[in-house]
Amino acid sequence: MLHEAEMMQSHASMLGFLVGSDYWPDDQATEIYLDALKAMDWPNPIIASASKRGYPEALGPSGMKMDGPYDWVPPNYWYNNKEGAASGFGSELGAGVGTPEMGSLKKFMSDDDLETLWKEPDADQYHMSRYDSQFYDRRIYNEALFARYGKPSSLEDYILKSQMADYEATRSQFEAYATQQNATRPATGLIYWMLNSAWPNLHWQLFDYYLSPMAAYFGTKVGARMEHVAYDYESHKIWLINHSLEKNGNRQIKVDFIDSNGKELSQATVESNTSPHSSKVVASLDGIKKAKDIGFLRLTLSDPESEDVLSRNVYWLSPTMDVLDWSESDWYTTPVTKFAKYTKLETLKPATLKASLHSLESSTDDGLTHAEVVIENKSAGPAVFIRLNALDALEGAEIAPLYWSDNYVTLWPKEQLRLTVAFEGDIQHTVIEITGRNVEKVTLKL
């Protein structure tokens, strides 16, 4: 313990030190730990364990919970007050997502493996967890995916549906915890399970072994914005979120809800004051039952004074909700007895995109190439779940790591959106590929 404490001396980012993980040390071990940390002038909190199962007398309760989940749960799971849902501090929890994109999958899976991935939903998967683990297959995940998004028609279709499911899973987790930050029973934080993997993996990651981000990453990025506006899947309320320590003042929230053809189902504009480190309800979604099969909700947060858009966020919503059986919860998931239906996504009318690529000057000396992509939906209906990817034109390989301002975006009819990207490489030898749920692939060069 003396050695551990000495190694930590120079790490200013340490928030605390846990002397136990799932369980806590006995009194004898606790005394040894505390004496060593005190001798090394450890200044930060010392925490008994990451769970609420017990604690040594000298330390008291940790204030953390370790109730899961680790496998798939629907977005509305997080807006409840049971298990790992948004209250307290969740020390390790997530919906078991993190499916790599096709470019990465083909690097570590054979053609036969890839066939099995989408054709045999209950098959064991070497690139998950150990053979004796609860997480050696994608059964729970695939049952939900097939029921909610439809049985996949190809490997490409399976990966696209997986990305949509992963995006909504991570976004809702971070948004739900953010909405409850100043609640009566507050959500004080979470540690997401998990950031990345030490080997090529099919789950539990926000970026993969090859440093390529997937939809789970961008769902997290949106859900954790400094100032944000979020949709509560359970109550249909709209939340204004402020994670900052100093930002305040008037904010404008636009709520736009359309059907799959682009027809307006409801629209509202709300103004409200925001204050640091707080969240509050500012509106409710009208018209959710007007959507016959699926609807698209766009939430836009802006500063009326500067006219800056602080957050833009699009959901695909079903008039039927996922129904959870909380009484059958275990340590890794909560069963779903009825699934939301997003199968209309399979038959959306095609949308046409117009896009352009422009080089940008960097405002910082980061050594990266910076560019802007402008995409415009020329159609009368939405252009859904658009992914942008960058490739080295000389080698044909995906560029990684790379840093998009946003990705996997959905455009309203006639809407234009500007996205930026930064990466190592020559913009002259870079190709941007744009794909989506209902758009033909677009390829851009400078």
Write down the catalytic residue from 83, 92, 208, 232.
Answer: 92
Which of 173, 167, 177 has the alpha carbon at shortest distance from 219? 167
**C-alpha torsion sign, points 163, 166, 171, 174:** negative
Count of other CB atoms within 10 angstroms of residue 38:
11
Distance separating alpha carbons of residues 174 and 188, to the nearest angstrom: 12
Angle among Cα 302, 303, 309 to the nearest 5 degrees reads 35
Which of 149, 135, 111, 138 has the alpha carbon at shortest distance from 330? 135
Q: How far is CA 110 from the centre of its chain?
A: 28
Tell me the three state secondary structure of residue 362. coil
Asked if residues 260 and 344 have their Cβ atoms less than 8 Å apart, the reply is yes
Q: Which residues contact 272 (CB under 8 A, 6 or more apart)?
A: 240, 250, 251, 253, 280, 282
Write down the catalytic residue from 6, 22, 115, 424.
Answer: 22
Q: Does the annotation count 120 as an active-site position? A: no
Give me the half-sphere count of Cα atoms (radius 13 Å) on the Cβ side of residue 253.
25
Give me the half-sphere count of Cα atoms (radius 13 Å) on the Cβ side of residue 351.
33
Q: Does the annotation count 22 as an active-site position? A: yes
Distance separating alpha carbons of residues 352 and 296, to the nearest angstrom: 18
Largest CA distance in the chain: 70
Give the residue carrying structure tokens 């313990």.
1
Tell me the three state secondary structure of residue 32. helix
Count of other CB atoms within 10 angstroms of residue 429:
13
Q: 46-47 and 17-18: which strand pairing?
A: parallel
Residues noted as catalytic: 22, 92
